[in-house]
Structure 1
Amino acid sequence: MTRLPDDFIFGGATAAYQAEGATDIDGKGRVAWDTYLAQEGRFSGNPASDFYHRYPIDLELSQKFGINGIRISIAWSRIFPEGFGKVNQKGVNFYHDLIDECHRRGIEPFVTLHHFDTPEVLFDKGDFLNRETIEHFVNYARFCFDEYGDKVRYWITFNEILSVSAGQYLLGKFPPKEQFQTDKMIQSMHNMMVAHAKTVVEFKNKNLKGEIGIIHILEQRYAYDEQSVLDKKAAQTDDVIANRFLLDLTFLGYPTELTETTIDAVLQLNNFSYTVLEDDRDILKKAAALNDFLGVNYYQSTFVKYYDGENLIQLNGTGDKGTSIYAFKGIGEYKFDMDIPRTDWDWLIYPKGLYDMLIRISEDYPNYRKIYITENGMGYKDIFENEEIDDQPRIDYIREHLKAVGEAIEKGVVIKGYFLWSLMDVFSWANGYNKRYGLFYVDFETQQRYPKKSAYWFKKLSEQKIL
């Protein structure tokens, strides 16, 4: 039996662009996704879950089903339509109303400042490859601290820097849809970490009562064949890029020798490099001692086999199991043929990877203070019959991952909460609306909400705290 702490947060996670809809009303500025999705012509960020208008309904459901924390993000372009300059007061007021409703319902808001949605004006100037965007982000964050700092206790600078940078420049599944530009990916990751560091220092200088941290997507890398030296090296290299680089910058303020030499070697494969300014090192080191918490997003782990062929990527965006291909020249190929269950989108269901990652953080970065599991969940093709949704596989997924969390807590890792991705069904960046994660089913035509079987299970868990 696993018992979770009495003060544990049982949360649901959302993101502005994936949930709010209302992308072109009340003065909101455009983001690159608006243009990209229109060009792709497959699906739109409107209406998403219409959270912009229906958040009172979702928060009422949250209260009813035992959810005491919610991740929301502020859409930067709803506050500053161009990313800087003129303020959109309607956007400012919306987030006041949303945060106030959270408190009225007894739900703690965890507020993310950037969740994949840089304003299009800044995106078109290079996004975070342009260092001016760093300063615009810090100014935007400062405005939010001043505006909402008396009512928000938990702030998150960035959600999944790796996903943003890799999606934009390695995998080609985010705008500007470039592939295998590892120099741009690493430079973007570095620059966003500098923006994080400057924002953390700004927050601490204001002496606000709240806490601030960052969210990384962390997925353990394992050698496909533990007896193969090449596979073990491939897994280590891929791990440095996906996990260690960002964790080093977060908690040490600089890359360790292993990280630095590995990153340099990967970039040199294509005669690439990236730029680090001396001031960057100073601010990163200063902020490394100031993070109040780390958010861990975990969905799967990856088994890596050495690969020296040409770069190959095939994204499974439809839920057609077995269609994913990820192979990176000189690094590794992701394998899926182990005796491990996986979702229809080829994501391995491997709770042990979460446990291993949590133990690793506590051992490798002992200056961490506490951890929240800020996203974890299962994309599933929910079947809606007679206004009921039996999503037992999702319940099984959550239970086993929370058991891994409980085991890590028993080993001494400080973990204070778990946020299921997602609170309600939302728009998915690469999958549109056919991949559902929520506790609450959304009929995207009528915008009606229906609690799933998992919602009733989650409610009981939040009351009893026993797995």
Structure 2
Amino acid sequence: MVERFPEDFIFGGATAAYQAEGATRIDGKGRVAWDNYLKENYWYIAEPASDFYHQYPIDLDLCERFNINGIRISIAWSRIFPKGYGEVNPKGVEYYHRLFERCHEHHVEPFVTLHHFDTPEALHENGDFVNRENVEHFVNYAEFCFKEFTEVNYWTTFNEIGPIGDGQYLVGKFPPGIQYDFEKLFQFHHNMMVAHAKAVNLFRTHNIKGEIGIVHALPTKYPLNPEDPKDVQAAELEDIIHNKFILDATYLGEYSDATMKGVKHILKVNGGTLDLREEDFEALRAAKDQNDFLGINYYMSDWMKAYEGENIITHNSKGVKGGSRYALKGVGEREFNVDIPRTDWDWIIYPQGLYDQIMRIKQDYPNYNKIYITENGLGYKDEFDVEQQTVHDKARIDYIESHLSAIQEAIRDGAEVKGYFLWSLIDVFSWSNGYEKRYGLFYVDFNTQQRYPKESAYWYKRVAEQKHL
């Protein structure tokens, strides 16, 4: 018997405003920190990206034709509030109304994220979420969107709090480009989780229709040698940094003793203190059982080994396999040279890690309600076949199939997983990796903005239609 996905399972595609829309300087959109940071630090800009701002009718038509019934979309905060607060930009509001209306016309459910790596420039320069004032600006922005866009049924507050903090304050690959500042990292994560909690509590207080949740990137951490206590500790500390700290805030409304023990150890070694207030925990506790869903973004797992040296991170931005180094003082080092496939960007391909992460949520945070896999996909240097007008991406098909199989196993073992959103629906620009790292079901010629279905798009269409692999 062929195992089928549930009839209400969503087969979706994911996008993000700044990575797909382009149109960064028109119709009243305010600036974000990335506008200058890309020019100064990378070899590309987000203009016109995939021109989703103008091409969305084509992309939604492709969704309908290829049986994709859900799409992750983010609202560009600075398209609504150019400075992050104050005066509303009516052209931005009108754009998203048109976009959401067109989604429903094509029978594609929009899952809408309020913040996907793109804090307005004025607020980012004012400390981003390390500055508590910006928590309130976010909540006010969220309230406006909840009340304005009544056609939205699924809301996400934040996308990937963990990688934003990591990119901004550990690796330094995101603006403002700070490295090895653990105090800012944890304070940033904590304040963003307070902002999430306050938005959820407001959503409930105002009886907004629909559902609300948060999307966390959850890379699974394993000790390189499970018999070595130091490797085990390295995996546990990395898990606290990237997963457990924000998961505790989401579902416990506080940080467990084990989590805080790890945080204090990391701060003792690297320096720094945190400002954690009782009023923060009041908001977190009020929200912890109010999340309708958890979005899990999963791409890879990491194997951790003991490390005694200073902080060293080498970011592999151009896809040169073996070019990565990630070692944290007082924590541990990632070992990339393990007997498991990895991408050119040294992302280790391990579907079992997705299963383990889902089951970890089920076991450790039983008030999770339900899960959507909100991002998963293979970044690849696609080669376009001009004659056949497609991309032969069997590696991507194999990647998706193996991860969907892991989801099926988790569902069979009792986890409530209700959908899968492939990153990405169309090729987009990839933050610190540019346009060469492609993820889409649909190939985008960035010169002409023409869309071409890849072989993976036809495969995904069949799976979505038949509900089995």
TM-score of Structure 1 vs Structure 2, range by shorter chain: over 0.9
Aligned to 1:211: 211
- Please list every run of 5 or more consecutive structure 2 residues that lacks an aligned counterpart in the other structure: none
Partners in 1 of 2:135 and 2:230 — Cα distance? 38
1:289-368 correspondence runs (5 A)? 289-368=289-368
Aligned to 1:49: 50
Aligned to 1:255: 255
Counterpart check, 1:64 vs 2:65: yes
Q: Which amino acid aligns with 1:275?
A: D
RMSD over aligned CA atoms reads: 0.7
Partners in 2 of 1:292 and 1:271 — Cα distance? 37
Q: Which amino acid aligns with 2:144?
A: F
Q: Which amino acid aligns with 1:351?
A: P
Aligned to 2:283: 283
Distance apart, 1:310 and its partner CA: 1.5
Distance apart, 1:351 and its partner CA: 0.1
Q: CA offsets per residue over residues 49-93 of structure 1, 9 Å max, x none?
A: 000000000000011001000000000000000000011000000
Could you say what secondary structure the match of 1:99 adopts? helix
Partners in 2 of 1:235 and 1:270 — Cα distance? 18
Deviation larger for 372-381 or 204-213: 204-213
Q: Which amino acid aligns with 1:36?
A: Y
1:157-172 correspondence runs (5 A)? 157-172=157-172
Q: Which amino acid aligns with 2:463?
A: L
Q: CA offsets per residue over residues 367-386 of structure 1, 9 Å max, x none?
A: 11000000000001111012
Q: CA offsets per residue over residues 408-454 of structure 1, 9 Å max, x none?
A: 00001000000000000001101110000000000000000000000
Q: CA offsets per residue over residues 8-62 of structure 1, 9 Å max, x none?
A: 0000000000000000000000000001012125100101000000000000001
Q: Which amino acid aligns with 1:68?
A: N
Distance apart, 1:318 and its partner CA: 0.7
Q: Which amino acid aligns with 1:404?
A: A
Aligned to 1:391: 393
Partners in 2 of 1:289 and 1:202 — Cα distance? 14
Distance apart, 1:167 and its partner CA: 0.5
Moved over 4 A (4+): none
1:185-264 correspondence runs (5 A)? 185-264=185-264
Could you say what secondary structure the match of 2:44 adopts? coil
Q: Which amino acid aligns with 2:95?
A: F
Q: CA offsets per residue over residues 236-269 of structure 1, 9 Å max, x none?
A: 1111111111111000100011001111111111
Could you say what secondary structure the match of 1:269 adopts? helix
Q: Which amino acid aligns with 2:450?
A: Q
Deviation larger for 238-247 or 395-404: 238-247
Partners in 2 of 1:314 and 1:429 — Cα distance? 16
Deviation larger for 28-37 or 379-388: 379-388
Deviation larger for 51-60 or 32-41: 32-41
Aligned to 1:443: 445
Counterpart check, 1:266 vs 2:277: no
TM-score by length of structure 1 reads 0.99
Partners in 1 of 2:275 and 2:343 — Cα distance? 39
Q: CA offsets per residue over residues 196-221 of structure 1, 9 Å max, x none?
A: 00000011111122000000000110
Partners in 1 of 2:3 and 2:343 — Cα distance? 25
Q: Which amino acid aligns with 1:331?
A: V
Partners in 2 of 1:329 and 1:265 — Cα distance? 11
Partners in 1 of 2:44 and 2:220 — Cα distance? 32
1:139-154 correspondence runs (5 A)? 139-148=140-149, 150-154=150-154
Aligned to 1:413: 415
Deviation larger for 152-161 or 202-211: 202-211
The answer to whether the 8 A contact 2:42-2:432 is kept is no
Q: Which amino acid aligns with 1:10?
A: F
Aligned to 1:129: 130
Aligned to 2:97: 96
Aligned-residue sequence identity (percent) comes to 60
Aligned to 1:35: 36
Distance apart, 1:407 and its partner CA: 0.2
The answer to whether the 8 A contact 1:2-1:403 is kept is no
The answer to whether the 8 A contact 1:215-1:374 is kept is yes
Aligned to 1:432: 434
Could you say what secondary structure the match of 1:110 adopts? strand
Partners in 2 of 1:306 and 1:94 — Cα distance? 50
Partners in 1 of 2:390 and 2:169 — Cα distance? 41
Could you say what secondary structure the match of 2:276 adopts? coil
Q: Which amino acid aligns with 1:366?
A: P
The answer to whether the 8 A contact 2:13-2:68 is kept is yes
Q: How many residues align?
A: 466
The answer to whether the 8 A contact 2:235-2:304 is kept is yes
- Please list every run of 5 or more consecutive structure 1 residues that lacks an aligned counterpart in the other structure: none
Partners in 1 of 2:11 and 2:299 — Cα distance? 17
Partners in 2 of 1:421 and 1:176 — Cα distance? 26
Aligned to 2:379: 379
Distance apart, 1:2 and its partner CA: 3.2
The answer to whether the 8 A contact 2:294-2:371 is kept is yes
The answer to whether the 8 A contact 1:254-1:285 is kept is yes
Q: Classify 1:45/1:464 alpha carbon distance in 2 versus 1 (closer, same or farther; 3 Å).
A: same
Q: Which amino acid aligns with 1:104?
A: E
The answer to whether the 8 A contact 2:270-2:329 is kept is no
The answer to whether the 8 A contact 2:270-2:330 is kept is no
Partners in 2 of 1:58 and 1:199 — Cα distance? 30
Q: Which amino acid aligns with 2:190?
A: H
Q: CA offsets per residue over residues 86-119 of structure 1, 9 Å max, x none?
A: 1100000000000000000000000000000000
